[in-house]
Copies of this chain bind each other. A is one copy, B any other.
Amino acid sequence: MILLTRKAEFSAAHYYWNDSWTAEENERIFGRCANRNGHGHNYTLEVTVAGDVDPVTGFVVDLKLLKDILEREVVGVYDHRHLNLEIAEFAKLIPTTENIAVAIWRRLDGKIPGARLHRVRVYEMADLFADFYGEF
């Protein structure tokens, strides 16, 4: 059993806002992240899959295929987008690093032939990241 990890990047805008709070509450809890004009990040995504090594190819999963799936399901969807305004799952859900990790898990789970999704790691900055292992 091998774990194979591939990184990818996307650049997106977001803000933190809870519609059930007043503006003052949003600013008190979320600070500068509550700016409704949005700010943004270069997000780094690490997707880890688990599986056995195919003795014929030496692969757990074909890397070209894995890259294409990440591009189709996540990077091509999120990159150069405003997460709150343009991505369906964040219409009601605040796009924190934690929630982005869970959302990417939902987008990828069951889509990778021959391997099991093991972990989704999302870096918002180099000094902050969230890991999700599918434990809802």
Residues of chain A at the chain B interface (Cβ within 8 Å): 1-9, 11-14, 16, 18, 29-33, 35, 37-42, 48, 53, 56-60, 62-64, 79-82, 85-86, 93-99, 101-102, 125-133, 135
This chain: copies in complex: 6
The answer to whether B129 touches A98, judged by C-beta atoms less than 8 angstroms apart, is no
Q: How far is B97's CA from A35's CA once the two chains are assembled, in angstroms?
A: 22
Interface of A is mostly: mixed
The answer to whether A79 touches B127, judged by C-beta atoms less than 8 angstroms apart, is no
Q: How far is B59's CA from A18's CA once the two chains are assembled, in angstroms?
A: 12
Contacts of A79 in B (CB 8 A): 32, 39
Contacts of A102 in B (CB 8 A): 2, 53
Q: What are 8 contact pairs spanning A and B, CB under 8 A?
A: A1-B135, A4-B98, A6-B128, A9-B125, A11-B40, A12-B40, A58-B94, A58-B96
Contacts of A133 in B (CB 8 A): 1, 3
